[in-house]
Homo-oligomer: A and B are copies of this chain.
Amino acid sequence: MAELSFESDYVEGCHPQILNRFMETNLEKLPGYGMDHYCQSAKEKIKMACGDPKAEVYLLTGGTQTNQIVIDTMLDSHEGVIAAVTGHIQSHEAGAIEYTGHKVLTVPQILGKLQASDLSALLDAYEGDANRYHTVCPRMVYLSHPTEYGTLYTLSELTEISRLCRERGLYLFLDGARLGYGLMSRQTDVTLHDLARLCDVFYIGGTKVGALCGEAVVFTHGSTPAYFFTKIKQHGALLAKGRLLGISFDTLFTDDLYFKISRHAIDMAEKMKTILKEEGFRFFLDTPTNQIFIVLENTFYQKLTERVRCGFWEIFDENHTVVRFATSWATSEEDVEAFAAVLKELKQVSI
């Protein structure tokens, strides 16, 4: 019996079509360091999908690595990046941004999202500060979309933040580690074309959306740092066998696979949400993507985890815990039905 797990969207390997492409192309002799035609093709397809033929695309391995390299190479040494206090770069990257010399300047969050008004207030405070030359210069805004809480910016919110960034001379950087799930949400009005238009740089997450690893960084509006290839090498992030990333993204951006598998994960998440609502579970917050946050009574939580793996999120109060369920390309209808059956069974028992 396949184990039931909704622990995260990276518990399985990769989409089978990627493995098949690895098989088919395995003996093809390719130049190293991302100079192969699969990398080239992947980049072209991504530019097309973004509707931005002038964009420049680079393929990196993971999310923290991408955040670190993008921020470090786009910012001058005295410049900092603004993020919500819940932003991944602020909380869960082991100081990777500071390691490269840059301060993360924080603003409050609402549902994991940074507010344009808080951003504006921070910039006003900086510009109005007589001692501002003794402080870090805010120069980039970092958003995650979906956020760490699975929530999404609206097109209107992104447009307002982008406008502010341009007025004030800041780069807008969007962390799309789970971007597929954001774009395929039933409750979003944001497209990939919008991101290419509104951001200066963003990435299309592969690791959490069907690849074994890989994030595709898209620089728009001519924002690619000089000698970016050399800087990737200098950060220890250049793969000799670039084909690993090239074939992965070429596959994901052939016949809309990236979008289809993201949509599938959304469909499965919506089913699970319906079941959870019907069974009367308490939602920690309402999310339009592939992550579901539920408040569980602790005894029930113990029993559930004997049957279904899920992610511990945080302690809610002394009797309750917040847990996270995530779906992915690999979540099947059967998994969801089995999940529903377990819930029903445990609920009956617990009554």
Give Cα A25 to B14, complex, Å: 10
Additional 20 contacts, C-beta under 8 A, given A13-B25, A95-B102, A101-B101? A3-B29, A10-B240, A11-B29, A14-B241, A29-B309, A62-B236, A76-B227, A78-B227, A94-B134, A95-B234, A98-B98, A98-B136, A99-B101, A99-B234, A99-B235, A100-B101, A133-B227, A212-B244, A236-B236, A236-B237
* Pairwise interchain contact A72-B76, C-beta atoms closer than 8 A: no
A31 proximal to B (CB < 8 A):
yes
Report the stretch among A16-24, A152-160, A343-351 that lies at the interface.
Answer: A16-24
Place the interface of chain A in its size category. Answer: 35 or more
Give Cα A96 to B103, complex, Å: 9
A26 proximal to B (CB < 8 A):
yes
* Pairwise interchain contact A95-B80, C-beta atoms closer than 8 A: yes
Report the stretch among A63-71, A114-122, A266-274 that lies at the interface.
Answer: A63-71
* Pairwise interchain contact B93-A98, C-beta atoms closer than 8 A: no
* Pairwise interchain contact B11-A234, C-beta atoms closer than 8 A: no
What residues on B are CB-neighbors of A32 within 8 Å? 8, 10-11
Closest approach, in angstroms, between the C-beta of A132 and any C-beta of chain B?
Answer: 9
Give Cα A133 to B73, complex, Å: 16
Give Cα A49 to B319, complex, Å: 49
Residue interface bits A115-146, CB-to-B below 8 A is 1, else 0: 00000000000001011011111000000000
Q: Which 3 A-B pairs have the closest CB atoms?
A: A65-B236, A13-B26, A94-B233
Chain B CB within 10 Å, residue with most, of A14, A230, A330: A230
A229 proximal to B (CB < 8 A):
yes
Chain B CB within 10 Å, residue with most, of A23, A68, A236: A236
Closest approach, in angstroms, between the C-beta of A301 and any C-beta of chain B?
Answer: 14
A1 proximal to B (CB < 8 A):
no
A30 proximal to B (CB < 8 A):
yes
Give Cα A230 to B94, complex, Å: 6
* Pairwise interchain contact A213-B236, C-beta atoms closer than 8 A: no
* Pairwise interchain contact B26-A96, C-beta atoms closer than 8 A: no
Task: Using A213-B244, A227-B137 as known contacts, say yes or no to A235 and B96 having CB atoms under 8 A apart.
Answer: yes
* Pairwise interchain contact A239-B94, C-beta atoms closer than 8 A: no
Determine the main DSSP class of A at the interface with B.
loop
* Chain A residues with a Cβ under 8 A of chain B: 2-3, 5, 7-8, 10-14, 16, 19, 22-23, 25-33, 61-69, 72-73, 76-78, 80, 91-96, 98-104, 128, 130-131, 133-137, 207-208, 212-213, 226-227, 229-231, 233-241, 243-244, 309, 312, 315, 330
Closest approach, in angstroms, between the C-beta of A173 and any C-beta of chain B?
Answer: 15
What residues on B are CB-neighbors of A23 within 8 Å? 19, 23
The closest CB in chain B to the CB of A314 belongs to: B129
* Pairwise interchain contact B240-A213, C-beta atoms closer than 8 A: yes
* Pairwise interchain contact B135-A91, C-beta atoms closer than 8 A: yes
* Pairwise interchain contact B95-A78, C-beta atoms closer than 8 A: yes
* Pairwise interchain contact A240-B208, C-beta atoms closer than 8 A: yes
* Pairwise interchain contact B207-A241, C-beta atoms closer than 8 A: yes
* Pairwise interchain contact A102-B98, C-beta atoms closer than 8 A: yes
Give Cα A207 to B238, complex, Å: 12
Closest approach, in angstroms, between the C-beta of A93 and any C-beta of chain B?
Answer: 7
* Pairwise interchain contact A31-B7, C-beta atoms closer than 8 A: yes
